[in-house]
A and B are shown apart, each in its own frame.
Chain A
Amino acid sequence: MARDVDGLPEALTDGFTRHLEVDVLHGTDRVASAVVDEWSLTSDLSRDPRTTGSLRIVHSSVKGESWVPDGVDGVLSPFRATLLLTEVVSAGQFTRRVQLGMFDVVEVPFAEDVTAHVGGRWVSRHESEGDIVPVDDMVPFDDVLPGEFLYAGGQLVGGHERVVASIVDVEVESLDGRVLGASLRSPRTTSGSALAEWRHLGLLPVAVTGDGTLPPTTWPAEQGSRLDAVHKCAQVIGGTAMVDSFGQWVLVDDDADEVTLTLGDRGTVTDVSSSLTLDGFYNVVVGNYETEDGREIRATWVAPGSFSPEVMGREIVRYAGGGLDGVRTQSAAQQAVNSIGEAALTRTVDVEVVCVYNPLVELGDRATLTGWHRTVSGVVQKVSMSDQATMQVVIREARPL
């Protein structure tokens, strides 16, 4: 969950106004701030980078400066700008700020300056020619600026075009995009603490409490190798890696924060649906592992009870094995296939929730939905939020079948 803020959940059940504040950072130095009206962010735990979004930044120029980027120049240049997004929620006297996170600008698909002519003076023809203009010569002048006199003919003398506002659309992505881009320049051999390796490779601070033991591993130097290595370290520690709203690596499963969404009269949830699928189910697990010196280890698991192949009438086999799981003994192999098998008996159900905008809901949170015909509790798998009044949240719930 984003930083807990006193009283905010209560405020969200009633009337409130909000706006998104953007601090533009170059590196970590703040160079500008703006308020954004049109924006959207979509987060999904099953893709890299986890969060992408777009914002329309309208900057009212103070001294004629333009925010339209040009190469590495410009406040919002994709080559250097990082945005710190903070949602400000107000209800009367009550104001709270919730930091949504840091995002790198990766693209500016549209940028435009609005200009106005300032200074100078309109010189009419009769003034410039020192003559009275015949009525016949008076033609309608169709580009009348506010406060200007309507003269037939004449011209603007002096002054210059000046930027009064810049409209810049930016596409952003979460900071794991940096790690995705920073592939390893040379291969690297490692073993031992997965947490130490994660800190070495992760580029961002790693706020994880557990640890695991990496088997002797060599990360290749290929596209995306650094992010792959981070994900494997997280897998060895026992979770899924993501970058949170503080710009640090966390484990999804490590996150004890809980956010509650409520359906009903005082609730903020407006729509709930769910689905169930056989996709991904298996009732037999065959593990083919090998010892350190390359001898075969084999273990199998067959589902008991109503999910056994005999009772279900169909056998769905899943293979397990591979190098990084660290299974090197017969007992470890049996343990591994048992745990993979038991996971099959827990179905993951995606519950899609439409609720009133709540900036505290963050990807990877443990979320509880109350007030529906049953209580749903799971990990927030997807979040789509924007300047709209509602947001979409997908809670992935693990239920025993």
Chain B
Amino acid sequence: MKFEEVVSRKFADASRVSTSVGEFVGMVGSLARVNMQGSTVDIRCDGWTPPIPGMPVRVETVNSAMRVVGPSQTLPARGKVIAALEGGARARIAVGGDEWELPVMAPYTPLPSDVVILNWQSGHVLGEEAAAPSVPDPGTNPGGGGGAFTNLVIQPTASGKYDTNWNNWWGLPEVQASNNNKGIWVYSGRFSALSGANITRVEMFLPTPIVAVGAAFVGLHAYSSIPGGEPSITSTVALPARSGWVTLPASWGNHLRDNPSHGIGVTSGAGNNRWPGVGQASQSGWVRFAGTR
């Protein structure tokens, strides 16, 4: 047998299953008559007898055989009497958003506004409910998928340095923090990926510096791309290390989450520190976060 034949036989063996809904009209012998998909069809109805015409039913097709498998939605067991009909033998009942006319069991006399119990199997109103059953608290579980995370990496889109003496950006994309240079990494709003998370740890990667002399500070800025003029870098703290993954204040995580267009920059004032920028060294300006969501 050729490979193609093996594959086509495997596919032929796979069951084809589809599901659709229709409206039950009535029973014709042992078959259920259903209006669906633009026609009236008689379908086998296994293990369940739809008692009330007008009820929406689910029809499943397995390997071209159609079956009515049950009501398409579970009908509520409780309804409210709107009016008694035929001297109390029948009643008009509001159930969910619909109204049904159903016969009443003998000892009960329907009165408007009564909350009644319905038997959809036979299609009767059983009687008035004296007390509702107590429902145990099932508890809630958050479900899969979220939880704690580490190593969520946001990469910068550009970087540069601004000379405050000459008032210009120069030598892009190198980053410099010196007496008269400020450097920034920008992230094009990518911190929006933190939305919905609570950040507990922020670290930034600095590649091996070209020069590392004197003071260096790291801070936040508000630019999603390289701005026209001098960048303003705020909330500065002393840079704890000049290369590798450097721990930043943990509060910056939620700040960047809430201000996703912001970024990170470096200043000095008394020193000279230069790092390869974006596209000059691997991982320059990467920021990694740990937290929960």
Q: Do these two chains interact? A: yes
Contact of A23 among B96, B278, B283 (CB under 8 A): B283
**Complex interface: chain B residues within 8 A of A187 (CB):** 143-144
Partner of B196, one of A29, A98, A199, A293: A199
Q: What residues on B are CB-neighbors of A200 within 8 Å?
A: 145-146, 196, 293
- CB distance B145 to A201 under 8 Å? yes
CB distance from A26 to the nearest CB of B (A): 10
Which residues of A from 288 to 327 have beta carbons under 8 Å from B? Answer: 288, 290, 293-296, 298, 319, 321
As a 0/1 sequence over residues 318 to 353 of chain A, the CB contacts with chain B under 8 angstroms (1 = contact) are 010100000000000000000000000000000000
Segment with Cβ contacts to A, from B150-158, B160-168, B223-231: B150-158
Most chain B beta carbons < 10 A, residue from A196, A203, A246: A246
Tell me which residues across on chain B come within 8 A of A30, comparing CB atoms: 282-283
A279 to chain B, nearest CB (A): 16
Distance between Cα atoms of A200 and B286 in the complex (Å): 21
| Distance from A238 Cβ to chain B, minimum over Cβ atoms (Å) | 18
Q: Does B235 contact A (CB under 8 A)?
A: no
Known contacts A248-B193, A293-B96; A84 and B283 CB within 8 A of each other: yes
Report B250 CB to chain A, min CB distance, Å. Answer: 17
A156 lies within 8 A of chain B by Cβ:
no
Complex alpha-carbon distance, A204 and B149, angstroms = 10
Q: Determine the chain A residues whose CB is within 8 A of the CB of B73 once the complex forms.
A: 293-294
User: What is the bound-complex CA distance between A248 and B283, given in angstroms?
Assistant: 14
Cβ-defined contact, A321 with B20, below 8 A: yes
| Most central of A21, A23, A288 by chain B CB within 10 Å | A288
Most buried by A among B22, B38, B145, B151: B145
**Known pairs A205-B154, A294-B71; A97 contacts B196 (CB<8 A):** no
B interface residues, tally (CB under 8 Å): 45
Contact A295 to B279, CB < 8 A, known contacts A196-B195, A200-B293:
no
Neighbouring A residues of B288 by C-beta, 8 Å: 28
Asked whether B145 lies within 8 Å of A184 as measured between CB atoms, the reply is yes
Q: Does A185 contact B (CB under 8 A)?
A: yes
Q: Which residues of A contact B279 (CB under 8 A)?
A: 3, 5, 96-99
Q: CA separation between A189 and B197, bound complex, in Å?
A: 19
Q: How far is the CA of A196 from the CA of B71 in the complex (A)?
A: 34
Contact with B along A176-200 (1 / 0, CB 8 A): 0000000011111100000010011
Judged by a CB distance under 8 angstroms, whether A27 is at the interface is yes
Given the known inter-chain contacts A28-B286, A200-B293, A205-B154, please indicate yes or no for A294 contacting B190, CB distance below 8 A: no
A246 to B156, CA, bound (A): 9
The answer on a CB contact under 8 Å between B21 and A290 is yes
Kindly state whether residue B121 has any CB partner on chain A within 8 Å: no
> Does A184 contact B195, Cβ atoms closer than 8 Å?
no
The answer, yes or no, to whether B87 is at the interface (CB within 8 Å) is: no
Decide: A294 and B21 in contact? CB cutoff 8 A. Answer: yes
Give the contacts of B266-293 with A (CB-CB under 8 A): 278-280, 282-283, 286, 288, 293
Contact of A298 among B37, B146, B150, B196 (CB under 8 A): B37
Most buried by B among A97, A219, A286: A97
Query: How near does chain A come to B208, taking the closest CB pair, in angstroms?
Result: 11
With CB as the reference atom, state the residue of chain B lying closest to A204. Answer: B152
CB under 8 Å from chain B, chain A span 203-236: 203-207, 219, 221, 226, 229
CA distance A98 to B30 in the complex (A): 70
CB neighbours of B278 from chain A (8 A): 3
Q: What's the nearest-Cβ distance from chain A to residue B144, in Å?
A: 4
Q: Which of A99, A203, A226, A293 interacts with B149 by CB under 8 Å?
A: A203
- Given the interface pairs A3-B278, A293-B96, the reply to whether A28 lies near B153 with Cβ below 8 Å is yes
User: Smallest distance from the beta carbon of B255 to chain A beta carbons, Å?
Assistant: 17
Instruction: Name B65-95 residues within 8 Å CB distance of A.
Output: 71-73
- Expressed in whole angstroms, the minimum distance between the Cβ of A317 and any Cβ of chain B is 12
Chain A interface size, as a band, is 35 or more
Q: Find chain A residues with CB under 8 A from B154 CB.
A: 205, 248
Kindly state whether residue A86 has any CB partner on chain B within 8 Å.
yes
Q: Does A9 contact B (CB under 8 A)?
A: no
Report the Cα distance A21→B279, complex, angstroms: 13
**Pair B23/A296 contact, Cβ less than 8 Å:** yes
Q: Which residue of B lies closest to A226 (CB)?
A: B145
Are the C-beta atoms of B37 and A288 separated by less than 8 Å?
yes
Contact of B245 among A29, A219, A247 (CB under 8 A): A29
A90 to chain B, nearest CB (A): 14
A186 CB to nearest B CB, Å: 4
Complex CA distance for A143 and B139, rounded to whole angstroms: 77
A84 contacts across to B, CB distance below 8 A: 282-283
Cα distance A23–B281 in the bound complex, in angstroms = 11
Task: Indicate whether B64 reaches chain A with its CB closer than 8 angstroms.
Answer: no
Tell whether A21 pairs with B282 under 8 Å between CB atoms, given A27-B151, A188-B144, A196-B195: yes
Shortest A222–chain B CB gap in Å is 11
- Which chain A residue has the least Cβ–Cβ distance from B283? A30
Instruction: Tell me the complex Cα distance, A353–B166, Å.
Output: 48
Q: Are A296 and B145 in contact (CB under 8 A)?
A: no
- Taking the closest CB of chain A, its distance from the CB of B173, in whole angstroms, is 10
Q: A200 CA to B194 CA in the complex, in Å?
A: 10
The residue of chain B having its C-beta at the shortest distance from the C-beta of A229 within the complex is B145
Q: Assess whether B134 is interfacial by the CB under 8 Å rule.
A: no
Complex Cα spacing A196 to B145, Å: 12
Nearest CB of chain B from residue A59's CB, rounded to whole Å? 17
B141 within 8 Å of A (CB atoms): yes
Which single residue of chain B is at the shortest CB-CB distance from A25?
Answer: B283
Q: Can you list 21 A-B pairs with a CB-CB distance of less than 8 A? A: A27-B150, A28-B153, A28-B283, A28-B288, A29-B245, A97-B279, A186-B141, A187-B143, A187-B144, A188-B145, A199-B197, A205-B193, A219-B145, A221-B144, A248-B155, A290-B20, A290-B21, A293-B56, A294-B58, A294-B72, A296-B36
Query: Other than the known A28-B283, A199-B293, A288-B21, what 17 A-B pairs have Cβ atoms closer than 8 Å?
Result: A3-B157, A30-B282, A98-B279, A199-B195, A201-B146, A206-B193, A207-B190, A226-B145, A246-B190, A248-B154, A290-B20, A293-B72, A295-B72, A296-B21, A296-B22, A296-B36, A321-B20
